[in-house]
Structure 1
Amino acid sequence: MRKKLNKLIYVEEYVYINGIEQFLFHNGTSYDNPVMLYLHGGPGSAESLFTEGFQGKWEDLYTVIHWDQRGAGKTLTKNPDKYPTIDLLLKDLYDIVHYLKKKYNKNRVILLGHSWGSVLGSTFIKKYPEEVSYYIGVGQVVSMLDNERVGYEKVKELISKKNDIKSLKKLEDIGEYPDKEYSEEWLKKCLKLRKLQEKYKLAASMDLSISLIAFKSPIFKLSDIIALMKAFKSNGKLVEFLVNFNLKLETNKYEIPIFYIMGGNDWQTPYSEAEDYFNKIEAPLKKYYLIPNAGHMTMLDQPNLFFEALQDIAERHKGEN
């Protein structure tokens, strides 16, 4: 385990939010910086353990808070029988935003949503735009079913080009995909597809280098591994919500600035789908960033280029925080 870093702002805490104690991890270099709340992916895949792999430079721009959501990470460990629904998470998020605004004396916060976090974040800013200065979507989900369809076709294309008979047989075994309605069979097919996508580096993979970042984190505990293993069981209702999620069915008007940062090699949440939708967005300010040679874990794959995008965003928006 790494030594805890000597920072002006370095706080691990459990805060009583919406009936349970929830884990927050704060890092920063100045109380004057705007506050960014990082919404992790999954559902159920807390990313607070990976901060040392990408976040150092961010803290010159923002005070960054990671929240292990209900049903994920250290919050799940603390509350093993408290499973999330989208309504519970939106209430959790609302209360955490208000807690952070009071703690840091801010009028608004910035939301960064990664993957599943982009679903939660996009839903929240439509409902509570007055709480957020601006939104950053990373690995932005627009339509889960469209994402799966595009990702399936991409891996099929690469498998066919390589004449990978074994992988082609596995793809054929999956059959028609994606099904239009969520079921246990849908989830089984999705997990089989992810394995093939990981093999062809089209989706996020928990490889040795990423695992080492987590294991070396100053907040890592063995219970974090157990929590990750329980993620599917504890987040079943959220997975069903995710499968049916489709921003295209809602208004494309946003009341706050919107920024997307996408990986050019991301076929888990295909950048092409996000870009098509982004071009239709109406917002006070918006910009789309495509990071080359980066996959679904964009900030880990290209941390310097990702930080340059954040710098540009911070420069473009110097409003009220």
Structure 2
Amino acid sequence: MKNKCKRLIYINEYVSINGIEQFLFHLGTSYDNPVMLYLHGGPGSAESLLTGAFQEKWEEIYTVVHWDQRGAGKTLTQNPNKLPTIDLMLQDLYEVVQYLKKKYSKQKIVLLGHSWGSILGSLFIKKYPEDIAYYIGAAQVIDIVENEKVGYNKVKELIEQADDKRSLKKLEGIGEYPGNKIDFGKEFLKKCNVVRKLQGKYKIGLELRFSIWIAMLKSPIFNFLDIISFIKIPKANENVLKFLVNFDLCNESLEYRVPIYYVLGGCDWQAPYIIAQNYFEQINAPYKKIYIIPNAGHFLMLDQPGLFFDTLSEINKIEEKALT
């Protein structure tokens, strides 16, 4: 667990959260900086192993804390039978936030949610706005069923434009997708896997590139047990997937009590940016601003790390100015 970059703040630890030991990874350059809690995607896809691939410059303006959620990463390894539900995860998140506020002597922290993390984060800030300075939704998810419909239609359009008969045959081979209801059973997940691979091929969804695997293996906190944890993700997160079946953020109030920033990939059709953009126009918040990063897909901080950091830097300056 060497601190090769000689950061002032470099902590990897297990903390007792909601009755189990949960993993946190802290990185930063100044105790004066705001504390940002990064909520990873999935559910179950811990991103703490990828900090070296996109995060180093973030640490100039934030103390960034990655939390391997219940049912993910090193927390799953430590607690293979303590599996998540949405209620447990919201309570877990509340306790993590309280822990960080106390540890760093902060009245509030910044919350960044990526993909699935943007669902968890959005629900949390509605319930506990007093704990959050502002919220950043990256690849923000709004409506699960609509996501799949729009993303499917987009990749089909691109395949037809390219006259890619082989890919079109694969797509047509899955039949109707996603249907009016998603059940996250084996049959749907098999179809979803075909769609995701084709979205990755056409650069409009998350593609597990070789460089991502290399970044994970090079992480100073990597352990071979992390691979086993990764394999267990679908089974471990069954209850959360059931919650997601009909998730639609539009069913919640459009009123927010914290500043809201959306950072979306202009080539993201896995969580289609146009859905989040339309929703964003409807919400009310003390302050809100949206950024769409060109040539960035679902993992936009990996696709365009420089532009993503520039966006974070601007958000940080806006919030600093608001405090003066």
Aligned counterpart, 1:291? 293
Aligned counterpart, 1:274? 276
Given the two structures, how large is their TM-score scaled by the length of structure 1?
0.97
Aligned counterpart, 2:56? 56
Aligned counterpart, 2:86? 86
Contact kept in structure 2, 1:116 and 1:242, CA below 8 Å:
no
- Please report how far the alpha carbon of residue 286 of structure 1 lies from its aligned counterpart in structure 2 after TM superposition: 0.6
CA distance in 2, matches of 1:32, 1:253: 31
CA distance in 2, matches of 1:266, 1:244: 21
- Please report how far the alpha carbon of residue 301 of structure 1 lies from its aligned counterpart in structure 2 after TM superposition: 0.8
CA distance in 1, matches of 2:2, 2:15: 24
Aligned counterpart, 1:160? 160
CA distance in 2, matches of 1:215, 1:3: 16
- Please report how far the alpha carbon of residue 2 of structure 1 lies from its aligned counterpart in structure 2 after TM superposition: 7.4
| Matching of residues 107-186 of structure 1 within 5 Å | 107-179=107-179, 180-184=181-185, 185-186=187-188
| Matching of residues 28-67 of structure 1 within 5 Å | 28-67=28-67
The letter of the residue matching 2:85 is: T
Of 167, 190, 199, the match for 2:192: 190
CA distance in 1, matches of 2:253, 2:88: 23
Of 312, 315, 318, the match for 1:316: 318
How far does the alpha carbon of each residue in 1:248-294 deviate from its partner, in whole angstroms, 9 at most, with x for none? 12211100000000111111111111101111111011100011111
The letter of the residue matching 1:223 is: L
- Please report how far the alpha carbon of residue 105 of structure 1 lies from its aligned counterpart in structure 2 after TM superposition: 0.3
SS at match of 1:163: coil
CA distance in 2, matches of 1:18, 1:102: 16
The letter of the residue matching 1:232 is: P
CA distance in 1, matches of 2:117, 2:184: 22
Inter-CA distance 3–108: structure 2 relative to 1 (3 Å threshold): closer
The letter of the residue matching 1:201 is: K
Inter-CA distance 3–251: structure 2 relative to 1 (3 Å threshold): closer
Q: How many residues align?
A: 320
Q: In percent, how many aligned pairs have the same letter?
A: 62
CA distance in 2, matches of 1:93, 1:183: 24
Contact kept in structure 1, 2:9 and 2:26, CA below 8 Å:
yes
Contact kept in structure 1, 2:145 and 2:182, CA below 8 Å:
no
How far does the alpha carbon of each residue in 1:79-134 deviate from its partner, in whole angstroms, 9 at most, with x for none? 11111000000000000000000000000111000000000000100111111000
Contact kept in structure 2, 1:40 and 1:114, CA below 8 Å:
yes
| Matching of residues 299-314 of structure 1 within 5 Å | 299-314=301-316
| Matching of residues 250-265 of structure 1 within 5 Å | 250-265=252-267
Contact kept in structure 2, 1:21 and 1:78, CA below 8 Å:
yes
- Please report how far the alpha carbon of residue 303 of structure 1 lies from its aligned counterpart in structure 2 after TM superposition: 0.8
Aligned counterpart, 1:68? 68
Aligned counterpart, 1:225? 227
Q: Which deviates the most, 197-206 or 139-148?
A: 197-206
- Please report how far the alpha carbon of residue 183 of structure 1 lies from its aligned counterpart in structure 2 after TM superposition: 4.1
4+ residue stretches of structure 1 with deviation over 6 A? none
Of 215, 223, 238, the match for 1:236: 238
How far does the alpha carbon of each residue in 1:58-95 deviate from its partner, in whole angstroms, 9 at most, with x for none? 11111100000000000011111111000000000000
CA distance in 1, matches of 2:4, 2:21: 23
CA distance in 2, matches of 1:46, 1:303: 18
Aligned counterpart, 1:13? 13
Unaligned runs of 5+ in 1: none
CA distance in 1, matches of 2:190, 2:318: 43
Q: Which deviates the most, 145-154 or 171-180?
A: 171-180
CA distance in 2, matches of 1:54, 1:229: 24
- Please report how far the alpha carbon of residue 3 of structure 1 lies from its aligned counterpart in structure 2 after TM superposition: 5.9
Contact kept in structure 2, 1:26 and 1:64, CA below 8 Å:
yes
SS at match of 1:299: helix
CA distance in 2, matches of 1:166, 1:60: 46
Is 2:248 the partner of 1:246?
yes
SS at match of 2:282: coil
CA distance in 2, matches of 1:93, 1:191: 29
CA distance in 1, matches of 2:260, 2:76: 30
Contact kept in structure 2, 1:119 and 1:242, CA below 8 Å:
no
